[in-house]
A and B are shown apart, each in its own frame.
Chain A
Amino acid sequence: MEFFLIKLVLVLIVFLVSLGVAAYSTYAERKIAAFLQDRVGPDRAGPFGILQPLADGLKMFMKEEIIPTHADKFLFILGPCIMMMTASMTGVIIPWGHGLEINGTFYPVQITDINIGILYVFGVVSIGVYGIMIGGWASNNKYSLMGAIRASSQMISYELAMGMAIIALIMTTGTLSVREIVEQQHGIHWNIFTQPLGVIIFIICAFAECNRTPFDLPECETELVGGYHTEYSSMKLGFYLFAEYINMFISSAIISSLYFGGYNFPFIDQLGLSPNMLSMLGTLIFFGKIFFFIFFFMWVRWTIPRFRYDQLMHLGWRVMIPLAIVNILGTGVYVLFKNGQLHF
């Protein structure tokens, strides 16, 4: 019973933290955009505009709900639901910290450590495509449909390269469990040093999966009005936009735990602190890494222009996938060499 209670509280915390981070990512996005374009950005709601996300949320709720006459009503509502659900499901397997020891019992700061680990994320992400496709189709609008089709073909193409980058990572770590992958990177033995090419492929694919610039063609406003969410209004539109920010948060968390050590940091053994203190410090540092990657997502968005659609497909199929295959081959040679099974 106590076990379920702890897990329930943990689920609630992770859910609320992802919502909170996503809400403040919208604020951060506007502030960073303003900073990069030498503007002030939102500064009216509260000191430094800190209440802006609340004002935005309130505005979203107050807007009129419109469902187009010829839309498929059930699917029209289902679209944003799937999007939001899949976005908040992936946080389950991320180890947010090493764990706390209270009264002799060890409580890991992770909701569940299933043995398929990273594959679970892939499963959930691949279901997320349906949120966009169903929403775009159900709107009964050609721009929505075009946006939905672009989104799904883009996500399928980049999922392949992402999966191959993960295969190379699994070859060196020998486990699918995210917790074990993080534990292996103790101190400064981060996977970025064994998988430099894999990191680049993974991050680029994560951008494409989140539909962020330079890959935000599904909502390319110069060609498609608003893309797949053209017909959406009120909080259903809010869900689509919000899910993108949650996805960004979760992908930052996955990038930092797979390649950048998760809650590990250099000189972790030399500090001489108690394990509980170290664990809490680790969680803080993990969030520091996550915020850095969220900043990176935004930095790229306001620096690099959008790709053309054929350039996007060219990059996905003719650059990323061959690179990922080369990476797998190279990793194979490296693993053999490390195990001493390769003799020159």
Chain B
Amino acid sequence: MNPSLPFFVLATLSVFSALMVVLSRKPVHSVLYLIFCFFTIGGHYLLLNAQFLFAVHIIVYAGAIMVLFLFTLMFINMNKELEPHKSNLLKGAATIAAGCLLLVLVAATKGAETLPAISKTSDIGTVSNLGKALYGQYLLPFELISILLLTAMVGAVMLGKKDVE
């Protein structure tokens, strides 16, 4: 068996599900495809032996954030008639903007091919190694991110309140 076969299977599935997110007609189906896409990306983490990242990815993205997405979509009754009409100018502008974003994302990976590949047997992604890196080498950024998240949470609560005196 080709050792990179699991990678190609997963990659095909991720690309397929990512395309279906955009192409499917019903918004709920889009969300479900996105969840499936997250699982395939989680599979890539597992191939790199990053089990902790896989677990957190599934718990946080697939298990919590997408549930909230699905939640909101189920409340909103999306009908064809209610969809606002979009002019061709807007559609063209959106295509160009998305294309530019794609270009930036692809350009960002330039130079990645010269990086040494992480071997599948390395244990760089295990819980203890990740913990040591986060709480040792990257302690300050890690703590700053927690403050950022707290601020965002407080802000969301403030915005969510109906009558702020």
Chain A interfacial positions (CB closer than 8 Å to B):
75, 114-116, 119-120, 122-123, 125-127, 129-130, 133-134, 137, 145, 148-149, 152-153, 156, 159, 176
Query: What are the 9 A-B residue pairs with the smallest beta carbon separation, nearest first?
Result: A126-B63, A119-B55, A123-B58, A116-B55, A116-B51, A123-B59, A123-B55, A122-B59, A137-B74
Whether B58 contacts A127 by the Cβ 8 Å rule is: yes
**A-chain residues with CB within 8 Å of residue B28 when the two chains form the complex:** 75, 137
CB distance from B153 to the nearest CB of A (A): 12
Whether B126 contacts A119 by the Cβ 8 Å rule is: no
Instruction: Name the contact of A114 in the complex, choosing from B51, B59, B64, B71 (C-beta under 8 A).
Output: B51
Whether A176 contacts B127 by the Cβ 8 Å rule is: yes
Q: How many angstroms between the C-alpha atoms of A148 and B70 in the bound complex? A: 11
Whether A116 contacts B67 by the Cβ 8 Å rule is: no
Whether A127 contacts B51 by the Cβ 8 Å rule is: no
0 or 1 for each of B18-46: is its CB under 8 Å from A? (1 = yes): 00000000001000100100000000000
Given contacts A75-B28, A114-B51, A134-B32, 6 further A-B contacts (CB under 8 A): A116-B127, A126-B58, A129-B63, A152-B67, A153-B71, A176-B127
- Of residues 48 through 104 on chain B, the ones whose CB sits less than 8 Å from some CB of chain A are 51-52, 54-56, 58-59, 62-64, 67-68, 70-71, 74-75
Minimal Cβ-Cβ distance residue in B for A136 = B74
**B-chain residues with CB within 8 Å of residue A148 when the two chains form the complex:** 74
Whether B62 contacts A127 by the Cβ 8 Å rule is: yes
**B-chain residues with CB within 8 Å of residue A176 when the two chains form the complex:** 127
Q: How many angstroms between the C-alpha atoms of A114 and B54 in the bound complex? A: 12
CB distance from B87 to the nearest CB of A (A): 32
Q: How many angstroms between the C-alpha atoms of A40 and B137 in the bound complex? A: 65
Q: How many angstroms between the C-alpha atoms of A176 and B126 in the bound complex? A: 11
Count of residues in B whose CB is under 8 Å from the partner chain: 21
Instruction: Name the contact of A115 in the complex, choosing from B32, B58, B68, B127 (C-beta under 8 A).
Output: B127
CB distance from B68 to the nearest CB of A (A): 8
Whether A116 contacts B63 by the Cβ 8 Å rule is: no
**B-chain residues with CB within 8 Å of residue A115 when the two chains form the complex:** 51-52, 126-127
Whether B59 contacts A130 by the Cβ 8 Å rule is: no
Minimal Cβ-Cβ distance residue in B for A170 = B127
Whether A133 contacts B67 by the Cβ 8 Å rule is: yes
CB distance from B152 to the nearest CB of A (A): 16
| Contact A119 B74, CB 8 Å, known A126-B58, A129-B67, A137-B28 | no
Instruction: Name the contact of B52 in the complex, choosing from A119, A130, A153 (C-beta under 8 A).
Output: A119
Q: How many angstroms between the C-alpha atoms of A92 and B154 in the bound complex? A: 39
CB distance from A316 to the nearest CB of B (A): 14
Please indicate which of the listed interface residues B51, B54, B63 has the most CB atoms of chain A within 10 Å of its own CB: B63
| Contact A123 B67, CB 8 Å, known A115-B127, A130-B35, A148-B74 | no
Minimal Cβ-Cβ distance residue in A for B62 = A127
Whether B51 contacts A126 by the Cβ 8 Å rule is: no
CB distance from B40 to the nearest CB of A (A): 14
CB distance from B79 to the nearest CB of A (A): 14
Q: How many angstroms between the C-alpha atoms of A129 and B58 in the bound complex? A: 13
Q: How many angstroms between the C-alpha atoms of A41 and B75 in the bound complex? A: 42
Whether B67 contacts A130 by the Cβ 8 Å rule is: yes
Minimal Cβ-Cβ distance residue in A for B57 = A123
**A-chain residues with CB within 8 Å of residue B70 when the two chains form the complex:** 130, 133, 137, 152
**A-chain residues with CB within 8 Å of residue B127 when the two chains form the complex:** 115-116, 176
Q: How many angstroms between the C-alpha atoms of A75 and B67 in the bound complex? A: 16
Q: How many angstroms between the C-alpha atoms of A282 and B30 in the bound complex? A: 48
Q: How many angstroms between the C-alpha atoms of A2 and B51 in the bound complex? A: 26
CB distance from B20 to the nearest CB of A (A): 13
Q: How many angstroms between the C-alpha atoms of A145 and B71 in the bound complex? A: 10
Q: How many angstroms between the C-alpha atoms of A138 and B78 in the bound complex? A: 15
**A-chain residues with CB within 8 Å of residue B52 when the two chains form the complex:** 115-116, 119
**B-chain residues with CB within 8 Å of residue A120 when the two chains form the complex:** 55
**A-chain residues with CB within 8 Å of residue B75 when the two chains form the complex:** 149
Whether A126 contacts B62 by the Cβ 8 Å rule is: yes
**A-chain residues with CB within 8 Å of residue B74 when the two chains form the complex:** 133, 137, 145, 148-149
CB distance from A166 to the nearest CB of B (A): 11
CB distance from B157 to the nearest CB of A (A): 12
Whether A123 contacts B63 by the Cβ 8 Å rule is: yes
Instruction: Name the contact of A152 in the complex, choosing from B54, B62, B71 (C-beta under 8 A).
Output: B71
**B-chain residues with CB within 8 Å of residue A134 when the two chains form the complex:** 32
CB distance from B67 to the nearest CB of A (A): 6
**B-chain residues with CB within 8 Å of residue A126 when the two chains form the complex:** 58-59, 62-64, 67
Q: How many angstroms between the C-alpha atoms of A265 and B45 in the bound complex? A: 39
Q: How many angstroms between the C-alpha atoms of A114 and B51 in the bound complex? A: 9
Whether A127 contacts B32 by the Cβ 8 Å rule is: no
A-B contact pairs, 18 of them (CB 8 A): A75-B32, A116-B51, A119-B55, A122-B55, A122-B59, A122-B63, A123-B59, A125-B63, A126-B59, A126-B62, A126-B64, A133-B70, A133-B74, A137-B28, A149-B71, A152-B71, A156-B67, A156-B68
